[in-house]
Structure 1
Amino acid sequence: MNSDRAAANDVDVDLGRLFGSLRRHWLGMLLFALISAALVFLLAAAATPKFRAETRVLIEQRETVFTRPQGEEAAVPAALDAEAIASQAEIMASAPILTKVARDFDLASLDEFDTSEPSFVEQFLTIIGMKADPIAVTPEEAVLASFREKLEIYRVENARVIVISFSSEDPRLAAAIPNAIADAYLENQRDARQQSNADATEWLEPEIADLRERVREVEERVARYRAESDLLIGQNNTVLATQQLSEISSELSRARAARAAAEADAQAARRALNGGGSLDTLPDVLESGLVERLRERQVDLQAQIADLSTTLLGNHPRIRALQSQLSDLDAQIGSEIRKIITGLETRAETARQREEDLTAEVNRLKAESARADEEQVELRALEREAAAQRELLESYLTRYREASARRDRDLLPVDARIFSRAIVPQEAYFPKVLPLTIAAFVAALLVGAIVLLLRELFSGRAMRPAYAHGETEAPSAASAKTGTAKPAAASPELPPAPRPLDMEPAAQVPTTPAGLTALDIEKAADRLVANGVTRALFISPEGDEAAAAAVLVAREIADTGLRVLLLDLTSTGAASRPMLETSSYAGITNILAAEAQFADIIHADLYSDCHVIPIGTADPARALSGIDRLPLIMNSLTTAYEIVLVECGVTDAAGIERLADDNTQIFVSLIDPEDEAIEETAEALKEEGFGSPVLVSPVGHEPETVPPGRTVA
Structure 2
Amino acid sequence: MPPRAPASPDEIQMSTVFDALKRKGRWLVPLSVVLGGLTFVVLMMMAPRYQSEAELAIVAKGASSTFSDPRSASSGPDLVTTRMDKEAINTHVRALQSSDLMLQIANDLKLAERPEFNSALGPVDQLDAVLRMIGIGGPRSGESERDRVMSALRSRLEVYTAKESRFIGIRMTSIDAELASKIANAMAENYRASLAEQGVTEIDDLQTVLKAKIDKLGAEVATAETEIDRYRGKIDGFRGGAQNTGLNEQQMSDLTAELSRAKAARGEADARAASAREMMKAGTADALADVQKSPLIQNLVQQRVRIERQISELSATLLPAHPRMRQLNADLAGLKLQIDSEISKIVSSLEKEAKVAQGRESSIAQSLADIKNRVVTNAPEEAQLRQLEANAKAKRTELENLQAQLEANRKKLDARAQPVEAQIISKAQAESVPIFPKKFQLSALVAFASLMFGTAWIVMGALFHGVPPQGYRKLNASDRRRSEPPLLREEPLISEMPETEPETEPEPALATAPAHAAIAGTTSEPAAKEASFAAFNDGEMEELAGRLKGRRSVGGGFRTLITGESDDIVPYAEATELVKALAKSGVQPILVDWSPSGEGFARDAGLDMNAGFNDLLTGHAGFEDIIQRLPGTTAHVVASGRAVSEDERELDIDRLNLVLDALDEAYDHIVVVGRHDEARRLFEGIEGRFDAGITVASSLRKAAEPEDRDGTFLGFEVAEIDVIRYERREAVAPALMQRLARVTQNQAAAARQA
Is TM more than 0.5 here? no
Q: Highest CA radius of gyration, 1 or 2? A: 1
What TM-score does the superposition give when structure 1 sets the normalisation length?
Answer: 0.34
Flag the structure with higher helix content: 1
TM-score (norm 2): 0.33
